[in-house]
Structure 1
Amino acid sequence: MNVSLYIAKRYLRSKSSNNAINIISYIALLGVILGSASLFIVLSGFAGLKDFTLQFSTIIDPDLKAVVAKGKSFILTDEEAVKLSHIEDIVVFSKVVEERVFIQSNDKSYPSASIKGIDDNFKRVNIIDSILEQGNWLQEKTNQIVVGSGISNNLSFGVLDYNKVINIYVPKPGKGQINSVEEAFNTVNAVNVGVFSINESLNDTYVFASLSLAQHLLNYKHNQISAIEFKLKEDTDEAWVREQIQAVLGDKVVLKNRAQLNDALYKMLNTENLAVYLIFTLVLIIALFNVIGSIIMMILDKKKTLNTLFNLGANIKDIRNIFFLQGSLMSVLGGIIGIAVGLLLTLNQLYGPIGLKFFITASLPYPVKIKIINVFIVFFTISVLGVIASTIASARITKNLVQDY
């Protein structure tokens, strides 16, 4: 039997004759519990907030997107299109043309928009019904457009607003002196049939148009495009599909999934997650100072017992191990209870009555998500910090301390 572990568990369960030490021990345990619960709740809240943010930022991003590797466009031959359609795990793909444009409506202009020319398959690749705020979706081979709410507000036009003339301009490629606007820009007149709303950045940027309109505006050939967006079957091996697509299209394209298309956003969210973890780990470290103080007070209170153990043959390492195990057990126990408390509060936020939830707005509960990995992160963090704190506290035991009683 491990004598040090047995005594450590006895010290952990039993009360000291000194009430001050009991109070300090309870405060130390409570600090560990609250610190662990706080860390778990914050990680769960950030996981929910991350998913909540990404569902709006990636709503019009496909499962996979083939973007041009060099330049602004590439040619998709009929043979390549047929081969892509025969790849088993691809449900559908949509051809896309994208370019920066200048929009003018009557006396107002908007220089920082991007046109996205799409074909009929775009509606099958992306969920568009959920983003439409007003009007209807555009029809292929027309001059209809659907703009973001930010562009609509800036240029002061709505749906089917025939009193407003909408012109879309793209600079013409080439060299030489320019003598007129017609020589400098390709232009088309458009009719706005819908307004979408996703997030502020996309609302202020995108104009959806038919693929043929965008190709005409940019002087592209009928099979010249900027990208291809793919919808994949559920539970598909993405790596295998990538290989199949790359075999068809070669090195003229680069394939990106949702995370890669929003790599800046993912990096920002992951950095914030790490920062939050480090901040609350610091809170845990401060809480574990109470554990160190509690163990040191216990050592001083048990000097007579330690002297007896030393005289019975226990060495300094064994005596240190008693308080090392006591502190470690206190940290692990507090961590387990804290995780349980945090889990209960998180479950309440997910499934509890409305009156007990926290809300961002009057109708939007704060988003949370329970992830098993967060349970292990919190438990590992508190265990490591508890071991370090216990090592520091138990190191106070010296031969002089147990002998000089």
Structure 2
Amino acid sequence: MGFSAYIAKRYLRSKSSQNAVNIINFITFLVIVIGAAALFVVLSAFSGLKTFSLQFTNTFDPDLKARPTSGKFFTVTPSVLKELENAAGVAHFSKEIEERIYLSFEEKNHIAYLKGIDEAYHKVTGIDSTLYFGNWGVAENQAVIGLGIFNLLGGPLNNYLKPLNAITLKPGKGSISANALNSRSFYNQMPLVVSGVYAVEDDLDKKYVFTRLPIAQAFLEKDSTQVSGINFKLNPNASIEKVKRELQQILGTSITVVSRRELNSTLYRMLNTENVATYLIFTLVLIIALFNVVGAIIMMILDKQQNSKTLYALGTTLPQLRNIYFLQGLMVTSLGGLIGLFLGSVLVLSQITFKWLKITPTLAYPVEFKLINLVIVMATIFILGLLSAKIASSRITKKLVAAT
């Protein structure tokens, strides 16, 4: 062990003859512990919230999705489907067609999105896990709606006598006059019998009506080759970027292939921005707190001034004396950071295990224990402690330690 490190450890363990210095040192150490624990808990909470928020997109959105570069629909030929089946890294794919519709039931109405899906859609997404009650239905004109739509319209399950009424405008060009809207020749109607209800979160629960792809295509007056999207489920070890490039080559420039992250770019960007902003705010708090370290080390320097003079007189150089207090500050911040991380980890793990903090009576506040958060907090504490100790130890000058 080096001379400076040995003296620094002795100073770290020993108490000052001045009670005020001991109190300042204790408060400084306590602030570091609390700051490190708080930063780790906040980062863990944001990690949990991010995972919790993204689980909804993971349920509805595939690994990759092909959609038209412009317009709403595109044509996919049997030869292209054959190439997609043989594409490396693709486990399953499914076609879908989506359009906005007007729903009505017993003088209640709602605007939603009709999503026609084929049999493979359940293999590509986790939609099956969202079914709240009922089933996906096997008969024609059966549909699964969100819990929000179900509550708004009040349509009962399997009611063939009073089904939901879906309305959409017929495809065409040009404007439509107000009088023409009263004519049934300008829109299509389709009865939908509710066979099941899904539940994810409020916005999505009010958005979609799922039905079979051929039924939706006929309702929208599209043939069997016209779709609005193709969803892809990749093999576990497949490279998203590599498969994406291959699919883009197969489908051509008129179709764009996007990942799940690109489909929800706004949500990802918002979550990342909030995470960074929170980290910076708490880091600012830590910076203010670590000014106490500078003050505490300077107080220690003044308290140990006579010892420093003795060491200097015995041949200790100024760089060695500065290194003593530099190492002492580094030890204080590092030890405080480690204890703070331990306490923060206990809090996070207890929340994961016992779920003592709840958002609702049935939903615990989501937190996530991640090694990267431990590294971020420890690195932040170490760097700030390094700067604080360097600033404070620079107060050791020849004038301070020279014998008078």
Same-fold call, TM cutoff 0.5 = yes
Residues in 2 aligned to 1:181 and 1:190: alpha-carbon distance in whole angstroms: 22
- Segment of structure 1 superposing worse, 357-366 or 129-138: 357-366
Aligned match for 1:167, one of 159, 165, 168: 165
Residues in 1 aligned to 2:185 and 2:5: alpha-carbon distance in whole angstroms: 87
Residues in 2 aligned to 1:156 and 1:357: alpha-carbon distance in whole angstroms: 36
Is 1:401 aligned to 2:400, yes or no? yes
CA deviation map 1:18-64 (0-9, x unaligned) = 23222221221222122112211221222122212221343121121
Residues in 2 aligned to 1:51 and 1:115: alpha-carbon distance in whole angstroms: 28
* Pairwise CA distance, 1:315: 4.5
Distance of aligned partners of 1:324 and 1:219 in 2 relative to their CA distance in 1, 3 Å threshold: same
TM score, norm. by length of structure 1? 0.91
The residue number in structure 2 matching 1:250 is 252
Aligned match for 2:309, one of 289, 302, 307: 307
The residue number in structure 2 matching 1:151 is 149
Residues in 2 aligned to 1:109 and 1:116: alpha-carbon distance in whole angstroms: 18
* Pairwise CA distance, 1:174: 1.5
- Percent identity over paired residues: 45
SS of aligned partner of 1:79: helix
Distance of aligned partners of 1:25 and 1:176 in 2 relative to their CA distance in 1, 3 Å threshold: closer
The residue number in structure 2 matching 1:318 is 320
TM score, norm. by length of structure 2? 0.92
Please give the residue correspondences for 1:37-186 in structure 2 after superposition, counting only pairs within 5 Å.
Answer: 37-111=37-111, 113-139=112-138, 142-162=140-160, 164-172=162-170, 173-175=172-174, 178=177, 179=180, 180-186=182-188
Distance of aligned partners of 1:89 and 1:177 in 2 relative to their CA distance in 1, 3 Å threshold: closer
* Pairwise CA distance, 1:116: 0.8
Residues in 2 aligned to 1:189 and 1:181: alpha-carbon distance in whole angstroms: 18
Contact in 2 for aligned 1:138/1:210 (Cα 8 Å): no
Distance of aligned partners of 1:240 and 1:57 in 2 relative to their CA distance in 1, 3 Å threshold: closer
State the one-letter code of the partner of 2:143. I
State the one-letter code of the partner of 2:169. P
Q: What count of residue pairs does the alignment treat as equivalent?
A: 400
State the one-letter code of the partner of 2:212. S
State the one-letter code of the partner of 2:148. G
The residue number in structure 2 matching 1:368 is 367
The residue number in structure 2 matching 1:25 is 25
Residues in 2 aligned to 1:92 and 1:129: alpha-carbon distance in whole angstroms: 16
SS of aligned partner of 1:337: helix
* Pairwise CA distance, 1:359: 3.0
The residue number in structure 1 matching 2:266 is 264
Residues in 1 aligned to 2:335 and 2:153: alpha-carbon distance in whole angstroms: 61
* Pairwise CA distance, 1:220: 1.4
SS of aligned partner of 1:103: strand
SS of aligned partner of 1:222: coil
CA deviation map 1:168-225 (0-9, x unaligned) = 2222322255423324323322222211111111111111121112212222121011
SS of aligned partner of 1:58: helix
* CA RMSD in angstroms, aligned pairs only: 2.2
Residues in 1 aligned to 2:259 and 2:265: alpha-carbon distance in whole angstroms: 10
Unaligned runs of 5+ in 2: none
The residue number in structure 2 matching 1:298 is 300
The residue number in structure 1 matching 2:351 is 349
SS of aligned partner of 1:99: strand
State the one-letter code of the partner of 1:67. R
Residues in 2 aligned to 1:212 and 1:359: alpha-carbon distance in whole angstroms: 44
Contact in 2 for aligned 1:57/1:199 (Cα 8 Å): no
State the one-letter code of the partner of 1:99. E
Is 1:211 aligned to 2:213, yes or no? yes
* Pairwise CA distance, 1:126: 2.0
Contact in 1 for aligned 2:190/2:219 (Cα 8 Å): yes
Contact in 2 for aligned 1:96/1:225 (Cα 8 Å): yes
Is 1:329 aligned to 2:327, yes or no? no
Contact in 1 for aligned 2:141/2:215 (Cα 8 Å): yes
Contact in 1 for aligned 2:294/2:392 (Cα 8 Å): yes
State the one-letter code of the partner of 1:107. E
State the one-letter code of the partner of 2:40. F
